[in-house]
Amino acid sequence: MATVKSTTFKACGLELHALEAGEGQPVLFVHGWPTNAQLWRHVLAEVGETRRAIAIDLPGFGQSAKPLDAAYDFKFYDQVFDESLAALGVDRLGLCVHDAGGALGLHWAVQHPDRISELCLLNTVASAKASWAVVAFILLARTPLLCRLTTTQWGIASGMRYGVQNRNRLTPEVIELYTAPFRDPNARAVFIRAVRALSKQRGGMKRVEAGLTGFAETPLRLIYGAHDRILPGVARTMRFVQKILPHAELTELTKLGHFLQEDSPEEVAALVAEFFARRQPEVAVED
C-alpha cells in the first residue's frame, strides 16, 4: 500500500490540511459531517497504488482552519474547491464523496463536468428532496441545547458509533481521530454554522440534481452501506442517481452502515481502488 502523508496548503486565505498518497492522475476525496480527511486514510493507501489520492480537511474540520466569520454555504465551498485544487496543482480529477461532502463536492462538480474524469458516491445525498432524517438533523442543529450536546466529545463519539454496524472497529484510537478536533470551541461552532447555512440553501441541491446529467459519459461508481441509520434513505438516493445515469455501477454492502470506510476498511478501500485503477485519464501534452 502507498504511504499516506500529511500536508498543508493555503486556499481562500486559510491554512488547510490534507492527507495524500501516491502519484499519477489525481483523485479527490471529500468527507462530510462530522468527520475529516482521516475517514479516507485506508482508501488513500489503496488508491495511492495507482493514482495520486488526496483527501482535504474542509475548513472548520480536522486540522484545517476554523474561521467563525466564513459563510459555510455552497458559494464558500465552491471557492474552497477552486482554490484548493489550484494550490495542489490539480486540473482534471476523479472525485469521490461521502455524506454532506457529496452535496458540497457535487455542487462544485456539476459546474465543472469537463474536469471530472470519474465519479464515485458513497452514502451521500444527491437529491433536492430532503429525507425525514436530513430534516430531523437540521431541526436538531437549530435547537441550541441539542446541537451543543451533539458537538461535545461524547456527542461526536456517539454519532460515529451510531453510524457503523461493526462497533468493535471503532477503537479508542479511531474515535480520537474524530473527537479530537472538537476540543476546539471553534470547531463546535463551525459545525453548527455549516449545517444551518446549507439547510437554508435548497437551491444548491436543486442545482446538483439538475446537473447530474452532465456526467452521462463519466465513469460512475455507487457504493453504499445498506444499514445506514444516519441517511436511511440512501438506497433510494442511489437508485435515483442510477435512474438519471443508467451506466452507473452499483454495489450494495448489506452488512455495513453509514461510515462504511470505518465499518469495513479493507473491503471499501478495495472496491474504490479497483474503480479508480481501471483507467488512467489521458493527460493533454502541449506541443
| Strand ranges in the chain using DSSP code E only, listed in sequence order | 5-11, 14-21, 26-30, 52-56, 93-99, 116-124, 220-225, 249-253
Of 86-100, 130-144, 221-235, the poorest mean pLDDT is in 130-144
Per the DSSP assignment, residues forming a β-bridge with 157 are none
Check whether 192 has a pLDDT greater than 90.
no
The pLDDT of residue 234: 95
The pLDDT of residue 284: 45
What angle (nearest 5°) sits at the alpha carbon of residue 191, between those of residues 190 and 197?
80
| Percentage of the residues of the chain whose pLDDT score is greater than 90 | 81
The pLDDT of residue 23: 96
The pLDDT of residue 187: 92
Check whether 139 has a pLDDT greater than 70.
no
Percent helix, strand and coil across the chain, each to the nearest 5: 50, 20, 35
Check whether 283 has a pLDDT greater than 60.
no
The pLDDT of residue 140: 63
The pLDDT of residue 287: 41
What does DSSP say about strands 14-21 and 52-56: parallel, antiparallel, or unpaired? antiparallel
- Please indicate whether residue 149 or residue 140 has the higher confidence score (pLDDT): 149
Distance between CA 227 and CA 91 in Å, rounded?
A: 36
Q: What is the mean pLDDT of the chain?
A: 92
Q: Going by C-beta distance under 8 Å and a sequence separation of 6 or more, which residues neighbour residue 270?
A: 46
How many CB atoms neighbour CB 277 within 10 A?
14
Rg (CA), the chain: 17
Q: Summarize the confidence of residues 85-96 as an average pLDDT.
A: 98
Distance between CA 77 and CA 124 in Å, rounded?
A: 17
The pLDDT of residue 204: 87
Q: What is the pLDDT of residues 53-76, one digit of tens each?
A: 999 999 999 999 999 999 999 999
Q: What is the pLDDT of residues 234-260, one digit of tens each?
A: 999 999 999 999 999 999 999 999 999
DSSP 164: -
Distance between CA 253 and CA 42 in Å, rounded?
A: 17
How many CB atoms neighbour CB 214 within 10 A?
16
User: The pTM is what?
Assistant: 0.93
Whether residue 231 contacts residue 124, with contact meaning beta carbons closer than 8 Å, is answered with yes
Assess whether the previous peptide bond of 34 is cis (omega < 30° from 0). yes
Check whether 123 has a pLDDT greater than 90.
yes
The pLDDT of residue 286: 43
What does DSSP say about strands 116-124 and 26-30: parallel, antiparallel, or unpaired? unpaired
Distance between CA 80 and CA 75 in Å, rounded?
A: 9
Check whether 145 has a pLDDT greater than 80.
no
Supply 160's cell numbers. 460515529
| pLDDT bracket for residue 142 (50, 70, 90) | low
DSSP 51: S
The pLDDT of residue 182: 94
Check whether 132 has a pLDDT greater than 90.
no
Whether residue 260 contacts residue 223, with contact meaning beta carbons closer than 8 Å, is answered with yes
Q: Summarize the confidence of residues 93-106 as an average pLDDT.
A: 96
Could you give all domains of the chain from N- to C-terminal order, each with its CATH number? Answer: 5-277 (3.40.50.1820)
Supply 67's cell numbers. 474561521
